[in-house]
Structure formats: C-alpha cells, structure tokens
A and B are shown apart, each in its own frame.
Chain A
Amino acid sequence: MSTVIEVEHLHKRYGKTVAVDDVSFTVGQGEIFGILGRNGAGKTTTVECLAGLRTPDGGTIRVLGRDPLRDHAEVTRRVGVQLQDGQLQDRLRVGEAMWLYASFYPDPADPAELLDRLGLTGRERTPYAKLSGGQKQRLSIALALVGRPRIAVLDELTTGLDPHARRDTWDLIEAVRAGGVTIVLVTHFMPEAERLCDRIALIDDGRVVHTGTPAELLARAGESTLEDAYVTLTRRTA
C-alpha cells in the first residue's frame, strides 16, 4: 500500500497558544483514516495544514508527494475538503453550487448523480439559506467530492445529521473509498470511527497518543468499546 499522506512532527501555534505540538502519521492509498480527539485537541488545525489553509510552524507535510502550500494548485485539484464551518452564499442554489464547484476541476463528477447519492435530488433550486442543517452538511460533502478527488478530507462528517442520513452518508463514504479514494475523517463520534475507520490517530493536547486499528486501540486501553478506550487514553492526569 503506497503512502498518500505523510505528516512528520507537525507543529502549529497561534500566538502563544500551541494548537498542534507534535503530530506525525501516514495515510495509505485507499484507507479510511480517522483523526480522533477532544475539542481543541488540534484535529482541525491538523487538517487545515493538510489542506494548505495554514502555514505550519514546524515539521513537514506531504500530500501525494507534494507540499500543500508550495504546490497549492496541484494539491487542491486532487484533494476534496469538507470544512467544519464553511458556509455558502445565502442565495446560491444547490444546483448552482454543484455546477460552480464542478467548474473548478478538470474532470468533475456528474453533479446530478452526486446530489442523488446524497439525497438532495429535487432540491436543486433551493437557496443555501433555506436548507436544513442536515441538507447543508450533505451539500458540503457533495462539494468535497465533486472534483473526483484522490483524497477526501472530511471534518465532522455527520454532525447535524439524523440517524438515517448518517447511515446513508457512511454507506456513501464506503462506496467512495471502494472507488479508490483515500479518506481522512475528523470526528469525535465513536460509532462513526468504529464503523468506518481502518486506522485511527488519537490526538490529545496537540500530540498523537495512539495510532492503529480500532481493535489495537481497544487492546491498548484495555477497554471493550471505542468510547471507553477513547476516554481512558485521553483522560487528563491532573
């Protein structure tokens, strides 16, 4: 399995606050790789550095062998990103958003087909501001996939989705991976990590405390559920 993402000793601070202290991991081609951790652990900053949105203060990042900052154009063509707090223009319609984002990429997916897979058919003319939280989330996932990326980075994939939509989204993610796309998933929703992830990096306080399969994580923590393992491994020793 070839490596598509390499993060080595990533360090990032905002002023005096250290957001990411020392994070290293690699992601293989076709994996679903989970980044888990508490709020403020440094997950989002890590994926923002992967996406070339932030300049690391230390360490190196290679995405498909390239530097996300220096080779920004090249990396953005091959990496689809779903951001946690990215909104669209209020009056932009679902269909327009899909065609607009499709126009950014050399060989985009069929917007209509993607909308269908995300259960947004019939919503093409609905303005963004009129969508429900779940619909906005699904549109955001569709936009991350419309460029036929080799890697999809999804931050808080199913936040705001009801259980049915969540399961449909999981099925979609598995189907996308079956098509050869590598997926980086940021989450703190344990059932999601358990169901989808091949491997997990557990980040706490800006550092990786564990990397491995969900089963390895359980064994290491001596717990029977991922949620318990997560709590044990990220417990503050105060």
Chain B
Amino acid sequence: MNTLAVTELKLFLRERSGPAFGVGLPILLLIIFGNLPFYHEHRDDLGGRTLLDTYVPILVAFALAMLALNVLPPVLAGYREKGVLRRLRTTPAGPIRVLGAQMVITLVTAVVAVTALLLVARFAFGVALPRQFAGFLVATLLATCALTGLGLFVAAAAPGGRAANAIGAAVFYPLIFFGGLFLPIETMPPALARISHATPLGAAVTAMQDATNGHWPHWIALLTLLAWAGGAAIAAARLFRWE
C-alpha cells in the first residue's frame, strides 16, 4: 500500500473542508432544490424539462469546480509555502508523489460527488439518469481535467495557501456563474450564453446537458474543454515551483 497516498487521504478527510464543500454542499443544494415545487414544473424555456432536470448537471459541474478550485489549490500552495514539498525533495520519494496523491484524491472525491448527485437525484427526486451515459462520462472526465488544470495553475501562481484560497475563489465564482448556477445557460440572454459556452464550466454543463438529453455532447463543447485542459496544464507546468 502506498503510505504517502493513504496519509494524504487521511489528512484530506481530517481537514473536512474537502468532503464538506466538494460532496456535502452540492448534495445539500440538490436536496433544497428538490424540495421546492417550483423546480418540478415542466418549462417551455427549458425544452419541456423541469428546472431540477437542468440543475443536476449544473450541480455536477459545481462540485467539480469546488474540488478543483477551492479545495486542491490551497493544499498544494500551502505545502509549498510550509516547505513540505522542499522537505520531500530531500527524500527518495520526491514531491511529485504528493502531487500525484492529491490528484488521485481529487479524482476519487469527484467520482463520489458525481455518483452521489446522480443517485440522490434519481432515487429521491425522480430525475432520470443521463440517457447518453458514455457521453456524460466523457464530458465529466474532460471537465475534471480542465478544472483540475485550472486548479493546478492557481496553486502554481499563488505564493501561499491563503493566496490560493483567494485566487481560487476569484476564479470559481465567475466560472459557476457562467456554468449557470444562478441562471441556467438556456435562460441567459444570447450574448451571455455565447460567452458562457467558451468558459470551461459553460462548456461542461452544455456537454452534460446534451448527454442527459440523450445526445452525444456537441464536439465544440468537448473541444473547448480539451483546450482549457491543455492550456491550463501547460501554464501550470511552466509556472509550478516546488519551493
């Protein structure tokens, strides 16, 4: 068993903010929305779907963004600030394994969050599972890559844990706005919707909505996610310092 990964997982659970914000908060929002009758009305502006149907993919994207932008960057930037990464450079393990362990933890928590959201939505509130399931998985995976890439970029750019918290939040809120958390993309004015489609969360939600409705996600949305993932990863790799 990899002691480093297990130790990092223990710290992640002990810290509590990761599970609370990455899994608990999206589920809580789903439960609140699911209990409002207004969210169960079929609406013409949403193509006959209910607001709750529309919100499930939005909450999935919200959970991914929360983990990648608000949970991951402060941990990594904090480790660098404290000299944890520097200390590991003097051991045979090296700091790259901490980075790897954190990525795995983010990914596993994302899987838990997405699975929980889909199951609670399905069995507590009768929201159908994504009809094009493979397409939904591809969209979710690309969204995770794009957002984690942005999270790594924030961790690379921030001098310390507190700064990473602030920068992560400053990126997070505009992104969830464009992802439609406050106003679903379908109901946005056309100009705003166009901007939204170019953002990672807007593209993610669009691709997930396509898959939820039974279509393969539009290739432009997938390509947008791929571009964000690649661009952010390159920028993060160039900027990242161990100390």
Contact surface of A with B, Cβ cutoff 8 Å: 51-53, 73, 76-77, 79, 81, 83, 85-89, 91-92, 96, 99-101, 103-105, 143, 147
Contact = CB atoms under 8 A, between A and B. Distances in A.
Interface in B8-36: 10-11, 14-15
A91 B7 CA distance: 10
Given A53-B90, A83-B87, A100-B4, 18 more contacts: A53-B89, A53-B243, A76-B90, A76-B91, A81-B87, A81-B90, A83-B83, A83-B86, A87-B84, A88-B84, A88-B87, A99-B3, A100-B3, A100-B7, A103-B93, A104-B91, A104-B93, A105-B92
What does DSSP make chain B's interface, helix, strand, loop or mixed? helix
A103 B90 CA distance: 14
Nearest to A96: B7
Contacts of B3: 99-100, 103
B183 to A, nearest CB: 39
B90 A89 contact: no
B90 A77 contact: no
Contacts of A77: 92
A92 B11 contact: yes
Nearest to B89: A53
Contacts of B153: none
A89 B168 CA distance: 20
B92 A73 contact: yes
B11 to A, nearest CB: 5
Nearest to A97: B7
16 contacts: A52-B89, A52-B90, A53-B86, A85-B83, A86-B83, A86-B86, A86-B87, A87-B83, A89-B84, A96-B10, A100-B7, A103-B3, A103-B93, A104-B92, A143-B87, A147-B92
Nearest to B2: A103
Interface string B88-102: 011111100000000
A45 B94 CA distance: 20
Nearest to B7: A100
Contacts of B62: none
A19 B231 CA distance: 36
Interface of B: 3-4, 7, 10-11, 14-15, 79, 82-84, 86-87, 89-94, 243
Choose among B4, B79, B92 the residue with the greatest number of A CB atoms under 10 Å from its CB: B92
Nearest to A76: B92
Contacts of B79: 89
A53 B90 CA distance: 7
Nearest to A79: B90
Given A96-B7, A96-B10, A99-B3, A87 B92 contact: no
Nearest to A105: B92
Nearest to B1: A103
A154 B163 CA distance: 31
Given A92-B7, A100-B7, A87 B90 contact: no
B88 to A, nearest CB: 8
A93 B132 CA distance: 46
Nearest to B90: A81
Contacts of B7: 92, 96, 100
